Structure 1
Amino acid sequence: MGLFGTLTNRSVTTSNKSQEMPERLRRQLPARFEAIGEALVAGAEVHAACAVVGRDLARDGIDLSEALHGLRSTFDLVVRREPDFESTEALSVAWSDETLSFLHQVSCENPLTGLATLAHVRTRVAEVLRAAEESTTAVEHVLIVIDQPADLRDIAGMGRALAMARLADRARLVFAGSETIGEAGPSRLLVLAERSETLGNRVAVLRDLISGSTPIGDLPARVWIEGLPDNHAASVALLDELART
């Protein structure tokens, strides 16, 4: 039975490769699912199309339940079966990533890690520069950069978020005051702190706390201090560079 089913599926897939989607079938598909339907009809790779559709639906404000219902309807109409796991996963992950990206833009905090978003760090830096300009004093803030090994990027989304949250906990042990602790990328944290006589010692303590605590391998995290430029354009350029991890 399994062999017969496999041979039948192969036959259908082979014959579909040269077909175009009938207009009647296209009109029956859920809105925005045409790309997935076309991939199924052509016997082509469908997972990439599922990811594109997932992102588009999230941008349009379609909830995940409705998106999955549309995926199921599309598979049923075109190939008369349930969506495979990989297609469902591709759509769901893309929908989730796009939704989280939107939340990061409208919120000052990443809901997964509790860290300030890069947009919020930029706002805080602008406030610091504006205050220094108004008081005609030198900029008394710096950025402490905490850079995890590049291998951290290979961890799945939730695992990476948990690793960054643990790293942020260590940073908060040392910088527990009014400092802003945010993320510049998937494996890099920033701490906006005032320059002081104890800053060097605090950074050394932070480096000791996170030494050997990376979630993968034995590669150490790097910690260093970046001086904050005294003008807005230069500070924007610095943050852009630090965000390129």
Structure 2
Amino acid sequence: MRSGLPHRFEALGEALTSGSDVLRACAVAGEDLARDGASMEETLEGLRDTWQHASAGDPSYDAVSALVTAWSEITLGYLHQLSCDDPLTGLASQAHLRSRISELYRLADDVPGHALVVCALPLGDDPSDEPGDHFTRAMRVARAGELARTAFAGDETVARLGMHRVGILCRRDERLGRRVRVLGTLLEGSPEGTPVRLWIEGLPGTDHLAGALLDELARG
């Protein structure tokens, strides 16, 4: 405790007393506590104690929601990094895709024979793009992944990339262009009927650059 406030909640206490952005302060506290490994119970107790100390009342619903959402997103992201599968979509996780690409670089000669096909769902076209609607967004990605597995039915790795993209690690052979066209046709006939972008990314010269490429694609 510092100035009577729980650790990581000092900025929230200042926001409550100054009238500045309380919800943003709650989100930052939730993110920081998740990175510290704090439990949900501990996080909520800190919010309640801070709110009662600074404003002599209980936290609002919006404040609790901002805190819990931020804590959950950081915690879920950490779990994604540990798992081979993305828990919401059933696709391979980005961490698993990263390890598969690293295996190619260890083999060296196998890198030029592979490519990454990227499927990017559109932004801002339906309610799944609301900040809190993680489930609907994940279901759209899962459906795109299922179609990708139809077009790439071999040993290719089909993984979730960020919030709106699917990445497919596959062989760069004479069938690649045809498979991408088939996937594009399947996606056009999906229930949502929403346009998607499909393209082929060549793997860069080093494993380090490949990791940077995945990070960039996931943020897009």
Residue 112 to residue 31, structure 1, CA distance change in 2 (3 Å)? same
Residue 114, structure 1, aligned to residue 90, structure 2: yes
AA partner of residue 93 (structure 2)? T
TM-score (norm 1): 0.76
Counterpart Cα distance in 2 of 1:196 and 1:143: 12
Partner of 2:112, secondary structure, is: coil
Question: Which residue number corresponds to residue 47 of structure 2?
Answer: 71
Partner of 1:161, secondary structure, is: helix
Residue 26 to residue 115, structure 1, CA distance change in 2 (3 Å)? same
Shift of 1:76: 2.3
Shift of 1:221: 0.7
For residues 37-186 of structure 1, the aligned pairs below 5 Å read 37-133=13-109, 139-151=112-124, 154-155=129-130, 156-186=133-163
- Structure with higher Rg: it is 1
Shift of 1:112: 1.7
Partner of 1:193, secondary structure, is: strand
C-alpha distance after superposition, 1:26-54 (max 9, x if no partner): 32x33332222222222333111111111
Residue 79 to residue 201, structure 1, CA distance change in 2 (3 Å)? same
C-alpha distance after superposition, 1:64-119 (max 9, x if no partner): 12211221222223322221111011101110111112112223332222232333
TM-score (norm 2): 0.84
* Aligned residue pair count: 216
Counterpart Cα distance in 2 of 1:80 and 1:238: 49
Question: Which residue number corresponds to residue 11 of structure 1?
Answer: none
AA partner of residue 142 (structure 2)? A
8 Å Cα contact 1:212/1:220 also seen in 2: no
Shift of 1:154: 2.8
Counterpart Cα distance in 2 of 1:45 and 1:33: 13
C-alpha distance after superposition, 1:193-227 (max 9, x if no partner): 12334333322221111115374xx6411222233
Could you tell me which runs of 5 or more consecutive residues in structure 2 were left unpaired when the two chains were aligned: none
Question: Which residue number corresponds to residue 164 of structure 2?
Answer: 187
For residues 217-236 of structure 1, the aligned pairs below 5 Å read 219-229=194-204, 231-232=206-207, 235-236=210-211
Shift of 1:121: 1.9
Bigger relative contact order (CA 8 A; separation at least 6): 2
Shift of 1:171: 1.1
Counterpart Cα distance in 2 of 1:116 and 1:109: 4
Identity of aligned residues (%): 47
Counterpart Cα distance in 1 of 2:174 and 2:43: 55
Residue 100 to residue 214, structure 1, CA distance change in 2 (3 Å)? farther
Large movers: runs of 4+ above 6 Å: none
Counterpart Cα distance in 2 of 1:244 and 1:69: 32
